[in-house]
Amino acid sequence: MGTIISGGTVVTAGDVGLADVLLEGEVVSALAKDIPRAGHELVNAKGCLVMPGGIDPHTHLDMPFGGTITADDFKTGTTAAAIGGTTTIIDFALHQKDKSLREALDTWHKKARGKAVIDYAFHVSVADGRDEIIAEIPQIIETEGVSSFKVFMAYKNVLQVDDQTMFKVLKACARHGGLVQVHAENGDVIDVLVNEARAAGRKEPKHHALTRPPQAEAEATWRAIRLAEMAQAPLYVVHVTCAMAADAVSEARKWGLPVYGETCEQYLVCDSSDYERPGFEGANYVMSPPLRGKADQSALLCKLKNMDLHTVASDHCSFNHAKQKELGRDDFSKIPNGAPTIEDRMAILFHYGVNAGVIGLSSFVALTSTNAAKLFGLYPRKGTIAVGSDADILIWDPGAARTICAADHHMNVDNNIFEGMQVTGKPRSVFLRGSKIVENGRFTGSAGSGVFQKSAKFFPIQL
C-alpha cells in the first residue's frame, strides 16, 4: 500500500499544476490528474503546494570553531531542518592541515551516522595543497561519493589557502569531475584591518563588519573566477552577500563560464544595522561574510529573480549567545562566526521572495531544492517530483502565518536572528523517502533515519 497526496498544486522547477502524487516504498511511483485510490492511504493536500523537499547545500553541524563547537549537532540540526521543510542537507567535512581528506570524511560520517533524521551528503574542504592531498581528489570523487571541494580565501592562519593551492584544486576538479566551492573574501586584507581595529581599541560587534568590506568579497570573487577560468574549471561561490560580488558571478556567466552563485536567506532580510543592537545582541549576527546594507539586499533579490544566483542555502552555524558568542565580549574578532538559520530558510525565502512577488513558485523550488541537487550530483534522485525520484515531499500551506521566535524554534540554541519576523507559509507535512517525518510543526519520524547520499560527478549544466 502506498500514499496518495491528493488535490494539491504540484510545483517543480519546471511546472506548476494540480495533480495527485503516489508514493510507493521510498519513491514516487505516479504523478497524474486523478490516481485511483486502490487501497492507498489518502493525504488531502487541497489548498497546499506539493513540492520536492528542500535541499540545503550549506550547513555546519557539530563543527569546531575558534575553541568552541556549534550548538547544533546532526540530530538537533536536521530535526529543525525537517520541521522547516528540508529533507536533505549537504554539510562540510572540514579537512585539517596535517591529515588526509579521507580522514575528514570519516570524522563527518561518524558525526552524522545514526543521528541525522534527514538525508545528507558531504562537501569536503581542502586546507592545504600538498601533492598527496591533490592526488586524493579523484579517489574521493570516484569512491567516496563526494564531488565538491571547498577552499577558503579567508580565515588567515586557520583555513585560508593561497592562490597556488586553490589553482591546483581547481585543476584537479576540472579533470576529474569535481566542483570547487569558494569562500571568497580577501583574508590578507581582512587580517590587516582586524589588527588595526584591535590596536585602536575597537571591541564592538559592528567592527566585524567594518573590517570585512564588500570590496574584500568582490576582489576575491573576481580572483576566484579568473583562477577557475585559467584552470578551465567550474566554480561555485558560496554565500554571496553583496551586489559587487554578485555582479562578478553574473558577468562571468555572460562570458559563458560555468560559474554558479549561492546566497543565504539572512543576507536578504538582515543588514549591517543589526550589529548596532543594544547590549551585546549584535554578536548574534556575526557571520562571515558579514551582513551588508539594504541596497545589497535588493540587489541579491534581483539576482535570484533573474537566476543569476542559483541556490539559497542557510550556512547554518549556530552558537549560543551565552558562553559562546560571549567569548568575544571584549574582542569582536573572538566572536564565533555563524548563526542558526537551518529551520527558517524556506519560510524566509517564501515570504520575502514568493509572497513579495519577487520570484515565482518554480523559482522557489529551483532555489531551495532542484538547483542544489543538480550542482551536487543528487538529481534526479533528489530535487524534483518525478516517477522514480525519492519520495521526499513537502506539503506547504501557503496561507499559514507564524512569528519566528527562539522560544519555540527547534534548533538547539538560545537565539534566532529572525526573531519577531512574521512570515506566511509553512510546512504542513514532510515526507522523507515515503515516510512522514513532520506533521503540523512536530517531528514524527524516527531517530537516525537519514541516509548518506552519494553525489555523482559534476556535470556542467545550464541553470
Could you list the residues that contact Zn ion (CB under 5 A)? 315
Q: Tell me how far apart the alpha carbons of residues 217 and 29 are, in angstroms, rounded to a whole number.
A: 45
Nearest CB to Zn ion, comparing residues 315 and 343: 315
The terminus-to-terminus CA distance of the chain in angstroms comes to: 37
Nearest CB to Zn ion, comparing residues 171 and 316: 316
The helix/strand/coil state of 195 is helix
Q: From the CB of 317, what's the least distance to Zn ion, in Å?
A: 6
Nearest CB to Zn ion, comparing residues 59 and 87: 59
Q: From the CB of 92, what's the least distance to Zn ion, in Å?
A: 7
Q: From the CB of 43, what's the least distance to Zn ion, in Å?
A: 35
Q: From the CB of 262, what's the least distance to Zn ion, in Å?
A: 10
Q: From the CB of 150, what's the least distance to Zn ion, in Å?
A: 8
Nearest CB to Zn ion, comparing residues 60 and 433: 60
Q: Tell me how far apart the alpha carbons of residues 214 and 290 are, in angstroms, rounded to a whole number.
A: 9
Q: From the CB of 264, what's the least distance to Zn ion, in Å?
A: 9
Q: From the CB of 58, what's the least distance to Zn ion, in Å?
A: 6
- Helix 243-254 with 294-305: angle, nearest 10 deg: 30
Q: From the CB of 94, what's the least distance to Zn ion, in Å?
A: 10
Q: From the CB of 221, what's the least distance to Zn ion, in Å?
A: 15
Q: Tell me how far apart the alpha carbons of residues 25 and 391 are, in angstroms, rounded to a whole number.
A: 8
* Buried/exposed 355-374: b ≥16 CB within 10 Å, e otherwise: eeebbebbbbbbbbbbbbbb
What residues form DSSP beta bridges with 149?
124, 180
Q: Specify whether the CB–CB gap between 389 and 58 falls below 8 A.
A: no
Cell of 69: 563547537
CA atoms in the 13 A half-sphere facing the CB of 102 = 11
Nearest CB to Zn ion, comparing residues 269 and 438: 269
Cell of 124: 569536503
Label residue 330 exposed, middle or buried (CB < 10 Å: 0-12, 13-18, 19+).
exposed
C-alpha torsion sign, points 114, 115, 121, 123: negative
Nearest CB to Zn ion, comparing residues 182 and 430: 182
Nearest CB to Zn ion, comparing residues 28 and 264: 264
Q: Which residue is nearest to Zn ion (CB)?
A: 315
Q: Specify whether the CB–CB gap between 327 and 66 falls below 8 A.
A: yes
CA distances from 309 to 70, 176, 263, 420 (A): 28, 25, 7, 27
Nearest CB to Zn ion, comparing residues 72 and 315: 315
Nearest CB to Zn ion, comparing residues 96 and 362: 96
